[in-house]
């Protein structure tokens, strides 16, 4: 049985310096999909200059950020002393836990020389018991992301987070969650089975795609019902298509979000701000800022 669509939307546009952002989650219909409470899509753009000093240091608490870069490279540095660079096709995960300050340089890929930048940032809401843990960071390069060739040479599936059949991501799971990047060649199709009571959404970054017999437009965010069933992805075009599919079990604890903090109560939000202004999240060291 094919899953039914709950809604579709194209999100809101914003600009961060030279970057054009499409904010897909939260949106007018939903504040979360499984543990995912935020999704920004960085549209493809040519970036001629190299950023050296970051895009603006800022705090987080109560979440893990997950950045997936399709084109370009992301340099990360934070107040816990973590530093890393991921390049085209790579991902990085940062658990803010009890509080952290981080910054990023988003530049073109210095290894390939391509000037294009394109990618995603998700926020994953941590269970209450994990919000009190220490910060952590993991960088996953493109060749470390599990990838599965699909039947009949129709395309591939990458597991950015979670599991798929025998594949498991290096990104930690605190609940049942998944983030897949699926690419299909022209004239092919592929179906993903989704368990009952699973929240799941698709995002179409670059092409129109037919999902469960309905044609959706590039830039659309589509959420499905929670009844067990299949999501059939069909490529009726003459070019390769890409689909991001993500979700997981419903986050049942209270969710209170304000600015860069996602907690379980307004009192915890107040504490998050108070601790930040008291300097308890530490500082990014000058050596990490280059």
Residue spans of the domains in the chain: they are 5-289
Torsion angle, alpha carbons of 22, 195, 64, 263, to 10: 90
Return the CATH fold of 5-289. Answer: Jelly Rolls (2.60.120)
For residue range 141-156, list pLDDT tens digits in order.
Answer: 999 999 999 999 999 9
Q: Indicate whether 2 pLDDT > 90.
A: yes
The DSSP-derived string for 120-160 is EEEEEEPPGGGTTSPPEEEEE-GGGS-EEEPGGG-EEEEEE
Confidence at 136, pLDDT banded by 50, 70, 90: very high
Calculate the alpha carbon distances from 81 to 93, 121, 186, 212 in Å: 15, 21, 45, 46
Q: What is the pTM of this model?
A: 0.95
The residue-averaged pLDDT of 209-232 equals 97
Helix or strand run (H / E) with residue 193: strand 189-194
For residue range 238-278, list pLDDT tens digits in order.
Answer: 999 999 999 999 999 999 999 999 999 999 999 999 999 99
Q: Indicate whether 66 pLDDT > 70.
A: yes
Phi, psi of 184 (to 5 degrees): -125, 140
């Amino acid at each position: 049985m094919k899953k039914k669509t709950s809604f579709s939307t194209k999100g809101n546009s914003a600009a961060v310096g030279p970057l054009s952002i499409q904010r897909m989650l939260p949106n007018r219909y939903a504040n979360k999909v499984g543990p995912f409470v935020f999704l920004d899509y960085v549209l493809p753009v040519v970036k001629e200059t190299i950023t050296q000093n970051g895009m603006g240091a800022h705090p987080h608490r109560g979440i893990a950020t997950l950045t997936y870069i399709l084109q370009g490279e992301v340099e990360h540095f934070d107040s816990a002393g973590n530093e890393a660079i991921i390049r085209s096709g790579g991902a990085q995960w940062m658990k803010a836990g009890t509080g952290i300050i981080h910054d990023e340089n988003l530049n073109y890929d210095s290894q390939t020389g391509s000037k294009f930048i394109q990618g995603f940032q998700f926020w994953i809401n941590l269970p209450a018991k994990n919000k009190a843990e220490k910060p952590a960071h993991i960088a996953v390069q493109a060749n470390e992301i599990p990838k599965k060739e699909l039947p009949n040479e129709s395309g591939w599936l990458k597991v950015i987070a979670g599991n798929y059949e025998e594949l498991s991501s290096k990104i930690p799971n605190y609940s049942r969650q998944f983030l897949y990047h699926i690419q299909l060649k022209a004239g092919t199709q592929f179906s993903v089975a989704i368990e009952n009571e699973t929240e799941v959404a698709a995002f179409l970054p670059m092409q129109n795609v037919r999902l469960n017999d309905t044609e959706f437009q590039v830039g659309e965010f589509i959420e499905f019902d929670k009844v067990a069933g299949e999501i059939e992805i069909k490529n009726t075009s003459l070019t390769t298509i890409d689909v991001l599919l993500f979700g997981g079990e419903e986050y049942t604890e209270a969710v209170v979000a304000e600015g860069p903090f996602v907690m379980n109560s307004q009192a915890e939000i107040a504490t998050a701000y108070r601790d930040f202004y008291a300097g308890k999240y530490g500082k990014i060291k000058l050596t990490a800022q280059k």
